Structure 1
Amino acid sequence: MGASAWDYYVPYQEDLDAALQQLRRDVFEAGKYYWANGADWRPEAEREPRPRTLEELWADELVRETGTHSILDVFQVVGPDDTPDYNTVEPVTAEEARESLGTDRLTRAHVKDFGVFPRSRWVGRCAVLHDDQGKPEEIYFWGHSGD
């Protein structure tokens, strides 16, 4: 299947990891992810219902191998002193934004240029987006995952 790109906008809150956890719950509850065990490539008799919890989802070996091709494939936002790793989200730093885009007050208009930020498969990124007055307004999460 290969990896899939994904992206999401959520209302701003200071705690980026709390925003990620809420987004993950929302996506899971809405069923907006790839469920390998219920996929069309399986004969209908072999398709399984979607899991009832995130824990049940990630207990499945096939899901751990193929992912969900969504924000569900990342589990936490890393802090400024942490090294991003598999299944994490790395925030864009103010320094990184200034060096790459000339401002540390990113807006939705900058999102089209976010390809300048280094990224890795199975490691998401996030950035705080500001309104016209420079006030934090949204958090943008993006990445690519799945096999």
Structure 2
Amino acid sequence: MGASGWDYSVPYQEDLVGAFDALRRKVFEERDYYWGPGGDWRPEEERLPWPETEEELWEHELVQHDGTHSILDIFQIIGPDEKPDYSTMKQVTEEEALRVLGTRKLTRAHVPRFEEFDHWRWYGRCAVLHDDRGEPREIYFWGYSGD
């Protein structure tokens, strides 16, 4: 199948980890992810029901191998000085934004250029987006995952 790109936006809050956790719960609850074992491309008698919990989701071998092609494939946010690893997410710092896009305060208008930030498969990024007055308004999450 190949990796899939995904992105989400949530209202700004100071607690980045809390926003990330709430977004992951929402994606799971709304079934906004790839669930291959229950896919409608399978004959009906072979389809598995949607999992009730994330633990149940990750118990399935196909999901362990192929992922969910969503933010559910990312398990933690790492600090600015930590090296990116499989299933981690790293926030764009003001210094990185300045170096890559020439500004410390990213806005929604910068999103099309976010490909210029470091990124790899099975790794996510996030950034605080500001309004025209420089006030934080949303947190934007994006990445690539799945096989």
After TM superposition, the score normalised by the length of structure 2 is 0.96
Report what 1:56 is aligned to. 56
After TM superposition, the score normalised by the length of structure 1 is 0.96
Secondary structure at the residue paired with 1:143? strand
* One-letter amino acid of the counterpart of residue 83, structure 1: K
C-alpha separation in 1, matches of 2:18 and 2:114:
23
Structure 2 gaps of 5+ residues are none
* One-letter amino acid of the counterpart of residue 43, structure 2: P
After superposition, what is the alpha-carbon deviation per residue over 1:78-104, rounded to whole angstroms, capped at 9, x for unaligned? 112322111111111111100111111
Secondary structure at the residue paired with 2:85? coil
After superposition, what is the alpha-carbon deviation per residue over 1:1-50, rounded to whole angstroms, capped at 9, x for unaligned? 11111000001111212111100000110011110110133221010000
* One-letter amino acid of the counterpart of residue 94, structure 1: E
1:1-147 residue pairs with structure 2 within 5 A? 1-147=1-147
Runs of 4+ aligned residues of structure 1 deviating over 2 Å after TM superposition are none
Give the share of equivalent positions with the same residue, in percent: 65
Secondary structure at the residue paired with 1:138? strand
* One-letter amino acid of the counterpart of residue 7, structure 2: D
Secondary structure at the residue paired with 1:19? helix
Structure 1 gaps of 5+ residues are none
* One-letter amino acid of the counterpart of residue 51, structure 2: P
